[in-house]
A = this chain, B = another copy of it.
Amino acid sequence: MIKTKDVHEYIDEHHSESLEALKEFLRIPSISAQSEHSDDIWKAAKFTLQQLIAAGLENTGLIANGSHPLVYGDWLHAPNKPTILIYGHYDVQPTDPDNKWHSKPFEPEIRDGKIYARGATDDKGQILGLILALQSIHAVKGNFPVNIRVLIEGEEEFGGTAIEKYVKEHAKDIACDAVLIADTHMIAPGMPSIVYGVRGILYAEIVAKGADHDLHSGTYGGVAPNPLHSLALIIAGLKGADGRINIPGLEEMANPVTDEERQWWSQYPMDMRQQLAHEMGLPFDAKAPEKTYFPGEQEYSLVERMSARATFEVHGFVGGYQGEGAKTVIPAEARVKISLRLSPNQTAEKVLPLLKKQVKKLAPKGVDVEVQFIHGGLGMVVDPHDPYIHAAVQSLGDEYKHDVYFLREGGSIPVAPLFAEYLHAPIVFAGYGLATECLHSPNEHFQLDNFYHAIHGCVRYLDAAARIEK
């Protein structure tokens, strides 16, 4: 215990060096989706690699099996101790709209205890925190309480496949007992949170075809197939105003939600209605909160609808006329982009045929309708009683001196189910960000206290994991 305390003292004494490293990292415009930043991607990868080397990791290198390199390093000298794989990403989102930023996205600026820059919270600040924890342990003790692997990718923000390819082909080379991911958020400032589930996704287009060329509604209105109208009928059939998804077989396939989970959700510290109204910019009257209406399945709680229930959303209709004013066209073809967020059992593979069947059933006569698969991603739920999760609860609770909340993410993190499937290891999502930190938006930032919590928290986690019996 004395040794551990020494590491924490070391961390506290090196705040300014840590902050300088973070600023240096944030200055690299490693936007993975834009090819003009290809040199910056390599610069960020090299920076990350140097940080791993500085932490005393071995077998360090850049794995260039895809368009952007993976950064790898390990330290495997703790026999009979667990192996923890730390995952993160060094690439960032594009910065547009640039004119909405109060300071330049790649010139980090500290205001009011927060560091503003693209990538601050997603994910450079978080992953660097974990690496600095390794550096601190290495500097103070010379060795680690557990075996360590670090795998950091540069294609997370554009859905690249380098990591998938690598994990599938090299699962044995990165065998581990748990995967530690700091790329999620806490429920509120000062309230540590463990994400124990993510939803899967099925993204598709429904294509409807009518005549073989666009028609004039004056001449053919009333007898012509109208693919846009047909799609509206299909969408209305797939989900009504009550928020129910009408795809037979889908509900039966859902992972059951436990009483324990609903208990956790009911204990969340904020007024969810007020919070959501604030985040979405909906009017909210604290004296009459019921006046703010949130669409969806009213018989389920907001938390359950946002994180555990399947959802169906429309993202865009293509076809016809979108310009100014009027054009009286009946398009020959139209398409609608939709996605379903799914519980782990509701895999895209299993849901796609159900969706196709129902769309066919709902399609009005006179149009040809087809469902085109765009992409799918698995969801997952980690056993919250797994000892590696428990270790995270302990260490985050100690670090923040606050009870830990259990969350499920509404979105999809495809790499997590990939790790779970190929490494057969629990995924520990112990993130230090906040949902309000403008990730993917202008003025992204990261609370500096959480940056330092991430360094301490990781040290605590590795200590706690070391106590798990292999």
Interface residues of A (CB under 8 A from B): 199, 201, 203, 210-213, 215-226, 228-229, 231-233, 235-237, 239-241, 243, 276, 279-282, 293-297, 302, 305-306, 309, 311-322, 325-331, 337, 339, 341, 364-367, 374-375, 409-412, 435, 440
CB neighbours (8 Å) of A231 from chain B are 232
Q: Are B229 and A305 touching (Cβ within 8 A)?
A: no
Closest residue of B by beta carbon distance from A198: B218
CB distance from A441 to the nearest CB of B (A): 9
11 residue pairs of the A-B complex, CB under 8 angstroms, read: A217-B313, A218-B411, A220-B279, A221-B341, A222-B306, A225-B282, A231-B232, A233-B241, A313-B330, A314-B320, A320-B337
Complex formed: what's the CA distance from A409 to B100 in Å?
52
CB neighbours (8 Å) of A199 from chain B are 218
CB distance from A285 to the nearest CB of B (A): 15
Closest residue of B by beta carbon distance from A204: B326
Q: Are A329 and B315 touching (Cβ within 8 A)?
A: yes
CB neighbours (8 Å) of A203 from chain B are 326, 328
A315: which of B201, B219, B321 is its contact (CB, 8 Å)?
B321
Known contacts A217-B341, A236-B236, A306-B220: does B280 contact A313 (CB below 8 Å)? no
CB neighbours (8 Å) of A374 from chain B are 325-326
Closest residue of B by beta carbon distance from A435: B219
CB neighbours (8 Å) of A312 from chain B are 221
Closest residue of B by beta carbon distance from A276: B223
Known contacts A232-B235, A325-B374: does B211 contact A306 (CB below 8 Å)? no
CB neighbours (8 Å) of A330 from chain B are 313, 315
Known contacts A315-B328, A321-B315: does B219 contact A306 (CB below 8 Å)? yes
A320: which of B235, B315, B366 is its contact (CB, 8 Å)?
B315
Complex formed: what's the CA distance from A327 to B375 in Å?
11
Q: Are A243 and B219 touching (Cβ within 8 A)?
A: no
Complex formed: what's the CA distance from A247 to B161 in Å?
51
The residue in A229, A306, A319, A339 that gathers the most chain B C-beta atoms within 10 A of its C-beta is A229
